[in-house]
Amino acid sequence: MIIVLKAQTTKKDETAVLQEIRRLGYKPHVMRGVARTVIGAIGDERSNKSLESLIAWSQVESVTPVQKRFKLVSREAHPPDSNIDVRGTVIGGRKVQVMAGPCSVESEKQLMATAEAVAKAGATILRGGAFKPRTSPYEFQGLGEKGLKLLAKARRETGLPVITELLSEDHTELIAEYADILQIGARNAQNFQLLIAAAKTGKPVLLKRGLSMKIEEWLLAGEYVLANGNRNLLFCERGIRTFETYTRNTLDLGAVPIVKNQSHLPVVVDPSQGGGRADLVSAFCKGAVAMGADALLIEVHPNPKEALSDSAQQLSLEAFGRLMEDLKPITAAVGRE
């Protein structure tokens, strides 16, 4: 930590700050300038109390962390890549995993047709929303527990693990009973109590980036999962809100190598939410794989025009099959499968 004292700080006040730094378990290094005194405090923030409380002292002008605020998700804490095992499907290894399925579970016929088709095309995890967060209260909100039971049936028949969204702490046990991965959506990315509840289930957690979330804020949100005893975390880039209106969101593919540089955890890209347009999904997927994404989260529907939610961004079964073939040379070119 770097502590800057205000101009004209007395020797007595400086000594008091130094004593407090030592009391909290740090070793101070004093650098006196012409107008101000700067103190470098060396110590392990994981085992000592934070020095940020010094900002309340009248003689202190600023307190700046030197180390990263996120600890457990960082490369410093765990230099090698972490792999997340989901019922034998490993995310973070050489193979780029594909999570595919409808935005919302609408019916048994719709879900089963999609699950069978995406499995045949090479998807390794089935996605589908049972509880849906919608902008309008009058839009389709999902089938709830019925949708979860249909996802479980699809898993039995196809062998695909299931990922679905957790919206509320009240639903935590119910979702964990049926799902293999708990998805925390963009609107809940900084709902810390929900993150803690999800972490405590022990199930893998996929954390989507918030609508206007800085990368550091995203990593710190992920820290809540690991800090509560769950090391099975996936970061998911799904586009952020910018001034651009041509697409629904602005997919930040640059976040993929940045997060992989800063963190040991796998990174997933959602190209469907990323642009909100089905015609962009293929290009976004190729770019994501080229940038180092460990998995893709793709919305697929038997008849997108009739979808009850997000119809504009869902691929048809045929388009998904073509995409899977188109991705093969891209994955091979970057040394992945």
Do 45 and 223 touch, CB atoms closer than 8 A? Answer: no
Q: Which of 291, 209, 222 is nearest to 253 (CA)?
A: 291
Helix (H, G, I), strand (E, B) or coil at 96: coil
Whether this model's pTM surpasses 0.95: no
pLDDT score at 67: 67
Distance CA(184)–CA(186), nearest Å, equals 7
Output the CA torsion 18→20→21→27 (10° steps). 70
Return the number of other C-beta atoms located less than 10 Å from residue 35's C-beta. 8
The pLDDT of residue 136 is above 80? no
Domain coordinates in residue numbering, the chain: 2-64, 84-333
| Separation CA 176–CA 166 (nearest Å) | 9
User: Under CATH, what is the fold of the domain 84-333?
Assistant: TIM Barrel (3.20.20)
pLDDT on residue 129: 92
> Phi-psi category of 93—alpha, beta or left, where left has phi over 0 and alpha has psi -120 to 50?
beta
pLDDT at residue 23 is higher than 80: yes
Phi, psi of 24 (to 5 degrees): -85, 0
Q: What is the structure's pLDDT at 138?
A: 61
- 7 pLDDT more than 70: yes
Q: How many residues does the chain have?
A: 337
Fold match, 2-64 / 84-333: no
Q: What is the tens place of the pLDDT at every residue in 316-325?
A: 999 999 999 9
| CATH number listed for the domain at residues 2-64 | 3.30.70.1140
200-219 per-position pLDDT tens digit: 999 999 999 999 999 999 99
Which residue, 76, 39, 83, is CA-closest to 61? 39
